[in-house]
Amino acid sequence: MKKNWKLATLALATTGLLFTTACTEDTIGDGGNGNIADNLLNADITEDVTLKAGITYTLDGGIHVKNGATLKIEPGVKIEAIHDNKVDYILIEQGAKIDAQGTATQPIVMTSQKKEAGAWGGLHICGYAPTNVGTGTSEIGDATYGGDKADDNSGVLRYVRMEYTGYAFSEDKESNGITFYGVGSGTTVDYVQAFMGSDDGFEFFGGSVNIRHAVVTDCSDDSFDWTEGWNGKGQYLVAYQGSKDEIGYDCDCLMECDNHSTNFAATPVSFPTLANVTLVGNGGTAQGVRLRAGTKVGLYNTIITGKGKCLTVETEPTESALKNGESKLNYVTIGSGFTSKENIYTQSDFLAAENNNEVKDLTPILRSFYVGTAEGGRNMSTVDSFFDAAEYRGAVPADNDWTAGWTLSSGSEAQEIEELKGTVTSDVTLAAGKTYYLTGDYTVKSPATLTIEEGVTIIAKHDNTVDYILVEQGAKINAAGTAENPIVMTSEKKEAGAWGGLHICGKAPVNVQGGKGTSEIGDAAYGGDDAADNSGKLSYIRLEYTGYAFSEDKEANGVTFYGVGSGTSVDHLQAYRGSDDGFEFFGGTVCVKYMVATSCSDDSFDWTEGWCGKGQFMVAYQENEETLGYDCDCLMECDSNDKDNSLTPVSHPVLSNLTLVGNGNDGRGVRLRAGTEVELYNAIITGKEQPLTVETVNTENALKNGISRLNYVEISGILSSKQNIYTNDLFQAAEGNRTNATFALEDKFIGTADGGKDMSSDSFFTATDYKGAVTADDNWTAGWTL
C-alpha cells in the first residue's frame, strides 16, 4: 500500500518530532524542547517521546514509531484522531517500543473525533517473534514483521482503551483495535479494550505475545482473531456484542481462529492456550468460536453464548488435533450449537471431554452484559505460571469486576468519567448506567436532592483522600436501582476498609443528651422530633469494601442511619465485605426491608441511641476467616444507650424474618444489651458458639415482663443470660422458639424453617408463615447481590 499520507522530512523537522542528536528524549506538551503547538501528532517518531499525563493529543495522519525509539504515554492521555480526509493510525515498527501505562482511574484512550465505528486506523505493533509466513508485511503501513525472537519486547500496554477503529484502507484491509504482528512474549499486554470497531477487536498475526484482562465490545467483525502461528497465552478475555438494533450494525464471530488460510500445515502452527473466557454474542446465526484452517488450541474455563452456532470446528487438521487430544476444549460451557464440519471431532466428543457442558439459558449466571461466572474450573496455575488460580468458568467474577471504571459498555458513548466531590447545594442527578469517581467527601446540603438512577456505579478512588457520601438533615438521596441494574458503590481497592460509605442524617428522635447528636463521620447534626422525617429512598444498592478507619474509634459502615425517619424508604440493600458494621442505626424510626450484610468484619447489623424502626427479610452472612483474611464479630449488636440505659426513646425495633449465619467462631451472634428492647420474630440464628446473648438488667427485664419479645426464633445453641433474669428456660418456653436447632440452608443462607407468625396485622410487614429471610422458591437476593 502506498504511504502517500506521510509528510516530508522537512515537515517532520518543522513540527519538532525529529530531534537533534543532543536530545535523548522529548516531552510533548510540557513546554520544553520539542514541544508541539496544540499537542499535534502528525509525523514519524524517531527518538524517545513522552505524552504527558492527562493531556489530549490530536492524531493527524499515520505515524510510525521507528526502530530504536520509544513512545511513552502517561496515565490519562487521550489521543484523538482528526476526522478529515487523512488516514490516522499509529504503528510501532520492529525494534521500536510503546510504553503506554494507564490506570483504572486514568486509562489511556485512543479515539476519534468522529464517534463512529471505522473512524480511524487503530494501533499496529510489529515485532521479531516467529510467524508461519517467515517475514511478513503489515496490512496497514507496509512494515516488516516476524523473525526468530520469541521473547521479543515491543513494550507495555496497560489500561488502554481503543475506540471507533476499523478504517477501511481497501476492501480487504480494515484496521483492528490493536493488531499484533509477530509480537513477542516480552511484551506486556494487560487491561485493554477495543470498543465499537468496524473490524476485529484484537488480531494476532503469529508471534508469542500473551494477553490478560482484555475486553472487546461491539466490534463488527471478529472480537478476537488469530492466524499465522500465534502461540501466546491469554487469561480473562471478554467479548460482548450488542444487538443490531442497539448498535446499528451486525457482528461476526466472537473468535475466528486460523493457522494459515492456504497452508494449514505451515509452522509454527497456531496454538494459543486460553483460560477464563466469557464470549457473549448478539443472538445472530453466525458462529461464536470458529476453529479452522489447521489451528490448534487449549481452551479452558470458558463460557460461550449468544450465537446460533456457539462453537464450530472445521478443517481436518484442526478437528484431528482435538480428536487425538493435542488440542483441548475442557471446562467449556456453551449456550447451544456445536457444529463439526468434517465430523471428526463431534458434539459427542465435546460433551464427553473433561467437564464440558451445554446450558441453554445462561442468563442466571451472566448479568451486566458479561459479569458472572459458573462453578467448576481448572486451576491453570498448575499448568503454567502465567495463569492465576481461577477455578471457575468465565472471565469476570461478580465480586471482582475488573472491567469497572476504565471500559465502556455496549451501546454507550465514549465519555469522560465525572468526579464527585465537595458540596451539593442544588439538585443533582447521576444518570442511569454511568460510572462516577468519588474523589473525597461528597456532602448533600439542605434542601438539595441527590438522585442516583439505576445502573450507576460510584467508584471511590484509591488515593490519599478519604471518600464518603453524606446526606445532611433536610437534604435527600433518591437512589433507586433495580434487580437487573443495581446501583453499586465500591472502591478501586477491592479490600475491606477501602472507603467511607454512605451516611444519612435525619430529624427523627434519638436518645442522646439534648436530643441531637453529631455524626461520627462528617460532623453533621442529626436528631429531632420528626419521627416521620423523609430523607429519600434507597433501593437495590450494593455497597462494597466500606469501613475506612477515620480514627481508632471511628470506622465507616456500609450505610449509617443517623436519626433517620420513617418517611424514608429503604429496601434491597447489601453491605459487602466492609471492615466495620454493615448497617448501623443511631436512633430514628426508619424501617428497612430486604437487607443483606455479607462478611462485614464488625457487626452485620448494629443499633443504638433509641432506634424504633421496623425490619423484615434481613440476612447476615459471614464467610470464615481463612477465606476473608479477617474475622467477623456479631451478627447483631443491639443497644439503647451504652452510657445511660434509661434514656428515652428506648431502642425498640420490631423485626421479622431474619436469617443470621455466623462464621463458626466462638463469638456472639445476636447480642441484646445496654437497655435495648426488641421484638424479634421468625428468625434463624446459627454459626456462632453463643448464637443469642442477653445482658444488662433493663434488657433482660423487658424480655421477662413481655415488653420485649423473642418468638418463633430458632437458634443453633442455647440462649446465654449474663444477669440470669431472662434465661434459656424462659426463651424455650416462649411461643415458637427452639434451641439447639439444625438448619438445611443452601447457598449460604437460602432456606427457611416451618412455622412462623403472620405479622401482616401491621401493614409494613408481608404475610409469612415461616422462619428465616429467603425461601428456596423466592430468592430475592439473586442478581443484585454478591
Domain spans, the chain: 417-568+579-590+603-611, 634-779
- Asked if 345 and 313 count as a contact pair (C-beta separation under 8 A), the reply is yes
Residue 641 cell numbers, joined: 444507650
Tell me the whole-structure pTM to 2 decimals. Answer: 0.68
CA–CA distances in Å: residue 658 to residues 125, 184, 684, 768, 784: 58, 56, 6, 12, 19
Distance CA 735, CA 711 (A): 5
Distance CA 491, CA 578 (A): 11
Terminal alpha carbon distance of the chain: 52
Query: Shortest CA distance to 358 belongs to which of 367, 347, 368?
Result: 347
Looking at the DSSP bridge assignments, the partners of residue 393 are: 374
Rounded to an integer, what is the distance from CA 483 to the centroid of its chain?
16
Residues of the chain with pLDDT under 50: 1-37
Sheet holding 123-126, edge to edge: 62-65, 89-92, 123-126, 178-181, 202-205, 224-227, 255-257, 287-291, 309-313, 338-340
Cell of 500: 467511607
Residue 490's φ and ψ, nearest 5 degrees, are -145, -165
Burial environment of residue 763 by CB neighbours within 10 A (0 to 12, 13 to 18, 19 or more): exposed
Give the per-residue pLDDT at 413.
66
Decide if 657 contacts 618 (C-beta within 8 A): yes
pLDDT at 238: 97
**Could you give the 3-state DSSP secondary structure of residue 512?**
coil
Cell of 448: 438539595
Contact of 501 with 555, CB cutoff 8 Å: no
The pLDDT value given to residue 64: 97
* C-beta separation of 334 from 347 below 8 A: no
The pLDDT score that the predictor gives to residue 285 is: 72
Using alpha carbons, select from 345, 244, 258, 335 the residue that is nearest to residue 296.
258
Numbers of helices and strands, H then E, in the chain: 7, 61
Q: Rounded CA gap, 532 and 569, in Å?
A: 11
CA–CA distance, 731 with 715 (Å, rounded to integer): 11
Q: Which helix H or strand E contains 15, and what residues bound it? A: helix 9-15
If one counts every other C-beta atom within 10 angstroms of the C-beta of residue 25, the result is 14
